[in-house]
Structure 1
């Protein structure tokens, strides 16, 4: 169901940016409250900027230190400040969740990590309502 839905939702009509796609604590350097460096760009892609938000939301159950509500509010506040409103946000996020989930289903099948594969499938179902 995931790949079929991804094919239906995917659109070329989205803004594209350079994305890191692995902003975990070991890849981000901060100085006080300011971001001062981002390392390890091996997972980077060029695509919809909502992918970074989707990445955090998708993996939040595995990273309880993430404050997703705070992140969403901070993004919404920043978007209001600059007069930006992401068009088709729900569909774009669903597309990102599907891509992240399907990619990691394949990876976990390849490595034989069936428990993580099942948990990833559950998370994909939870985030993407058909």
Structure 2
């Protein structure tokens, strides 16, 4: 990914009951212990990476909603595929290390398979 990618505050754990909604509106985001500063596509990559473990996530809907929002504001993310691949690698490697540390070999293998599926080159 390029050095001219805008950097943002990222939560990096939005799928573990850390988001509150009221109807269709976001009402709270908490537990920022995993937060980092980086490419905003990381949050999309996070959802996509963990989708097999979270079948309620509608990745196609999320991608379309993001694309619609980007069109509305005149934004076109450059090098999107390469940037997402970089995020998938970071997420996967971080969790391979975690699962090796905890001795969770089945999740480690599943994480490695997911990395292989998402990062083709």
Which bin holds the TM-score, normalised by the shorter protein?
over 0.9
Aligned partner of residue 37 in structure 2, secondary structure: strand
Q: How many residues align?
A: 121
Query: What are the Cα deviations for residues 97-130 of structure 1, in whole angstroms up to 9, with x where unaligned?
Result: 0000000000000000000000000000000001
Distance apart, 1:25 and its partner CA: 5.0
Q: Distance in 1 between matches of 2:80 and 2:42?
A: 11
Q: Distance in 1 between matches of 2:4 and 2:120?
A: 22
Query: Tell me, which stretches of 5 or more residues in structure 1 are unaligned?
Result: 1-9
Q: Distance in 2 between matches of 1:79 and 1:11?
A: 19
Q: Distance in 1 between matches of 2:94 and 2:16?
A: 21
Of residues 17-26 and 97-106 in structure 1, the stretch that sits farther from structure 2 once superposed is: 17-26
| Higher relative helix content | 1
Runs of 4+ in 1 over 4 A off after TM superposition: none
Aligned partner of residue 22 in structure 1, secondary structure: coil
The normalised TM-score by structure 1 is 0.91
